[in-house]
Amino acid sequence: MSSLTVGSHILEWGERTYVMGILNITPDSFSGDGLLSSSSAPNSTPSGESVEGVVEIARHFLAAGVDILDVGGESTRPGSQPVDAWAEKRRVLPVIRAIGAAFPGTLISIDTFKAEVATEALEAGASIINDVWGLRLDLQLAGVAARAAAPVILMHNRSKPANVEVRDRLGSAYLGAEYEDLMEDVKRELMESVRIARSAGIPDEHIVLDPGIGFGKTIEQNLELINRLDEIRALGFPVLLGASRKSFIGYTLDLPPNQRVEGTAAAIAVGITRGADIVRVHDVEAMSRVVRMTDAIVRTRKNA
């Protein structure tokens, strides 16, 4: 069975599902969990007090069973305003350094598509690059990962800023892109990201795939992707599922982001049965329990 070694950590794919906890160092997260004040200026940086607060949240996450802390400084919320690399670094670097000092050896991923941000985040203590554009937006990023021997999470993404639907209560959602065949198109484009990674010298064992739930897909397409996640897993790489609190849940259940725990739990449980290896979540305590229970049912049979 394949595995990924990152520092002192060995992730044994198929043995259990790993939990990634989300730390959004932004003022405008879609889920309302951004750890900068909503009144913060676009280029604001976390205060010392804010960084201490994030460290306490990280402590809570780790105590709840989180395996990877995912630190991001730019919102991917539909309709959000982009920030430049300088501003993004000002947000994430103090947090990564503080978490590393408080919890040495903790696995930290940097949620960025910018080579400049990734380079300095890895130097500050991050170990994994989580790129929502699958190495296709900043063509220098693959080289950064290869030189640092950093694993990469490659997400499928067809979202376009102009294709956004906004509902006051349910929030914003990317509208679906045109697909000739949803699963075949997603698989083909993920393998294009894999080709970019391989060309840069990133070994296959350092690659994780993410089908990009919510990014350029309709509600129905998101549901289908989760139900057919095993087809992504069949490509031969571990799979990350990021469904937490997303708009397809809100639109399905007619619920705002802060009431999507049960919908997230259902998506995660089904995703694990279809082969998800990592789940990226906001509600770490509840979702860690969902993961443990689903693993007890699914992994026991697989590993018997």
pLDDT in tens, 120-163: 999 999 999 999 999 999 999 999 999 999 999 999 998 865 45
Fold of 3-303: TIM Barrel (3.20.20)
Q: Where are the domains of the chain?
A: 3-303
Tell me the pTM: 0.90
Q: Are 114 and 138 in contact (CB under 8 A)?
A: yes
Q: In 104-228, which ranges are E strands?
A: 107-111, 128-131, 152-155, 164-167, 171-174, 207-210
Distance CA 234, CA 225 (A): 13
pLDDT in tens, 3-36: 999 999 999 999 999 999 999 998 754 444 445 5
Average pLDDT in the 159-183 region? 68
pLDDT in tens, 225-279: 999 999 999 999 999 999 999 999 999 999 999 999 999 999 999 999 999 999 9
- Both structure tokens of 16: 């259990």
Average pLDDT in the 186-212 region? 98
pLDDT in tens, 61-118: 999 999 999 999 998 766 567 889 999 999 999 999 999 999 999 999 999 999 999 9
Distance CA 175, CA 162 (A): 9
Average pLDDT in the 160-172 region? 57
Count CB neighbours of 223 within 10 A: 18
Which residues participate in catalysis according to the annotation? 246, 280
Cα separation values, 25 from 92, 174, 194, 204, Å: 7, 22, 28, 30
In 104-181, alpha helices (H)? 115-124, 141-148
